[in-house]
Amino acid sequence: MNVLLFGSGGREHALAWKLRESQLVEELYCAPGNVGIAQVAECIPADLADPRAMLEVAQQVKAPLTLVGPELPLVAGVVDEFERAGLTIIGPPRASAQLEGSKAFAKRFMERHRIPTARFEVAEDFEAAVHALDAFGPQVVIKADGLAAGKGVALAATHEEAVASLDAMMRQKTLGPAGERVVMEERLAGEEISFIILTDGKSVAPLAPSQDHKAAFDGDLGPNTGGMGAYSDDSIISPRLQEQILRTIVGPTLSGLAAEALPYHGFLYFGLMLTAEGPKVLEYNVRLGDPETQPTLMRMRTDLVELLQALAEGRLGGLPVHWSPNPSVCVVLASKGYPGKPDTGKAITGFDVAESLGGVKVFHAGTVFDDGRLLTAGGRVLDVTATAENLPAAIERVYAAAGKIHFEGMHYRRDIGAKGLRRLRPGGSAPSLGTNPRGAHL
């Protein structure tokens, strides 16, 4: 069959790579795609902010199955457009995509359905937001209500920092319309993990657990980014904790969506904080995470197209998903200036050498070919991903590969997976209910 993928980042390169492995795929198309995706799929121009234009691409390539990578088209209603035309697309409709499109909607949804989350307040204007700070003390989490490409969260340590963040979002409009309304939350202590499922609204297929690293610098310091790396390893959560997450968070979320007549079919991402009181939801995403997708798909043994077909045909509950026991680690190579304005147009060398190492795949996130040279073209440039028989070996391998690549101003975190290594030390274990919280709010 023909399969169409929408998106242009490292997540979509990983998806295209996995989709291309399937024997069920005859032609693979990606719109708009990127340099790496063009090696495994035919890339087609597309405006991902225009659902109607996206539908026309699907009709042009005669794709009976479409997968959406980024959140913007889902929040804009691309699934609704496809469903009206009778075409199969993986993702939630616009009403359900509010779980990511509006932080205020998501928090109020969790409140209505008693889903564990941080205490919060929603503010519609700057003065109300400053007044609400009194309810949280000196440390508070401030979130832009709308989509902000992973950069809409500020972790304030003092009242002054909180006011400055509110001023930037609500008065200076540094995040555009996304920051016109904000959510303020108590700051939770614990370790953050990513728990992602594929669901038809009833049946659930959990993906292998992963852990993102959002802060720009080692030790979870610096501003939040779209993600500087991630790893996937079964030791991230225990079987007991997974059962608890499914029972107290995933189940109530799906039943809540059903109760509010919000249909859901696709990937659903739960950003969780493992607190001393148990797991709590930090955020929902209505698609796969980036860069969690890269290490997760490195471990997937089940045919991804077969899995998506089962979802579309209502057979998800009867299809087992198989995973490699080997951990996988992804390190993001970023441009100078990221997560602010990136310095682009820099020549990249060593790419081929890195990918020639065994167990390594390099996914393109922000690159372009110009006059025979591979150049940087974004903040997150390459996602170096490696797998090995254990986590220490996977970490060693991914950093050996990253060390082969060079471009001016390149920077990356050197502690991806470090929390997992601490878990492997004597006395360490996968987090479970009742354990002491580790790490910090990323």
* Tens-place pLDDT, residues 267-300: 999 999 999 999 999 999 999 999 999 999 999 9
Q: pLDDT tens for residues 215-226?
A: 999 999 998 899
Domain that holds residue 345: 191-424
Neighbours of 157 (CB within 10 A): 11
Q: pLDDT tens for residues 411-435?
A: 999 999 999 999 887 666 555 443 3
How many whole angstroms separate alpha carbon 338 and alpha carbon 145?
Answer: 22
Statement to judge: residues 336 and 420 lie in one domain: yes
Give the position of tokens 């998903």: 321
Statement to judge: residues 28 and 176 lie in one domain: no
For residue 108, being part of any structural domain is answered with: no
What is the average pLDDT across 3-18?
98
Q: Is the pLDDT of residue 405 over 60?
A: yes
For residue 88, being part of any structural domain is answered with: yes
pLDDT at 150: 75
Statement to judge: residues 303 and 397 lie in one domain: yes
pLDDT at 137: 83
The structure tokens listed for 311 are 């979802």
Mean pLDDT computed over every residue of the chain: 94
CA dist 404 → 354, 360, 363, 400 (Å): 5, 12, 15, 7
Statement to judge: residues 289 and 198 lie in one domain: yes
pLDDT at 93: 98
Q: Is the pLDDT of residue 58 over 50?
A: yes
Lowest mean pLDDT of 26-35, 36-45, 342-351, 416-425, name the range. 416-425
Number of domains in the chain: 3
Confidence of residue 151 (pLDDT cuts 50, 70, 90): confident
For residue 112, being part of any structural domain is answered with: no
How many whole angstroms separate alpha carbon 100 and alpha carbon 253?
Answer: 13
Statement to judge: residues 218 and 175 lie in one domain: no
Q: What beta strand segments (E) does 37-181 contain?
A: 42-43, 65-68, 89-90, 120-123, 140-144, 153-156
pLDDT at 442: 24
The set of residues, in sequence order, having a beta carbon less than 8 Å from that of 404 and lying 6+ positions away, is 350, 353, 354, 357
Lowest mean pLDDT of 84-98, 142-156, 282-296, name the range. 142-156
The set of residues, in sequence order, having a beta carbon less than 8 Å from that of 72 and lying 6+ positions away, is 48, 49, 147
For residue 102, being part of any structural domain is answered with: no
Statement to judge: residues 255 and 373 lie in one domain: yes
How many whole angstroms separate alpha carbon 388 and alpha carbon 396?
Answer: 9
Angle formed at CA 427 by CA 422 and CA 433, multiple of 5 degrees: 85
Q: Percentage of the chain with pLDDT > 90?
A: 91
CATH number for the domain that contains residue 73: 3.40.50.20
Helix axes 10-20, 304-312, angle to 10 degrees: 90
Confidence of residue 440 (pLDDT cuts 50, 70, 90): very low
Statement to judge: residues 215 and 155 lie in one domain: no
For residue 439, being part of any structural domain is answered with: no
Statement to judge: residues 182 and 195 lie in one domain: no
Tell me if 288 sits within 8 A of 69, measured CB to CB. Answer: yes
Class of residue 306 by CB neighbours under 10 A (exposed 0-12, middle 13-18, buried 19+)? middle
Confidence of residue 149 (pLDDT cuts 50, 70, 90): confident
Tell me if 16 sits within 8 A of 39, measured CB to CB. Answer: no
CA dist 69 → 10, 122, 195 (Å): 10, 29, 17
CATH number for the domain that contains residue 130: 3.30.1490.20
Neighbours of 99 (CB within 10 A): 25
Tell me if 19 sits within 8 A of 39, measured CB to CB. Answer: no
Statement to judge: residues 204 and 328 lie in one domain: yes
pLDDT at 64: 96
pLDDT at 300: 98
pLDDT at 430: 53
What is the average pLDDT across 155-175?
93
Last residue of a domain, one of 167, 186, 205: 186
pLDDT at 436: 28
CATH number for the domain that contains residue 250: 3.30.470.20
What is the average pLDDT across 62-76?
97
The structure tokens listed for 15 are 């998806």
Statement to judge: residues 267 and 127 lie in one domain: no
Statement to judge: residues 296 and 369 lie in one domain: yes
> Residue 116: helix, strand or coil by DSSP?
coil
Helix (H) or strand (E) holding 303: none
pLDDT at 425: 78
How many whole angstroms separate alpha carbon 255 and alpha carbon 252?
Answer: 5
The set of residues, in sequence order, having a beta carbon less than 8 Å from that of 373 and lying 6+ positions away, is 347, 348
Tell me if 232 sits within 8 A of 299, measured CB to CB. Answer: yes
pTM of the model: 0.94
The structure tokens listed for 265 are 């079919």
For residue 434, being part of any structural domain is answered with: no
pLDDT at 435: 31
pLDDT at 166: 95
The CA-based dihedral angle spanning residues 316, 317, 323, 329, taken in that order and rounded to the nearest 10 degrees: 70
Confidence of residue 207 (pLDDT cuts 50, 70, 90): very high
Q: Is the pLDDT of residue 438 over 70?
A: no
pLDDT at 275: 97
Lowest mean pLDDT of 129-133, 147-151, 252-256, 383-387, name the range. 147-151
DSSP letter for each residue of 403-434: TT-B-TT-B--S-TTHHHHHHHSTT-----TT
pLDDT at 431: 56
For residue 144, being part of any structural domain is answered with: yes
For residue 333, being part of any structural domain is answered with: yes
Statement to judge: residues 180 and 213 lie in one domain: no
DSSP letter for each residue of 331-354: EEEE-TTTTSS-----B-BSHHHH
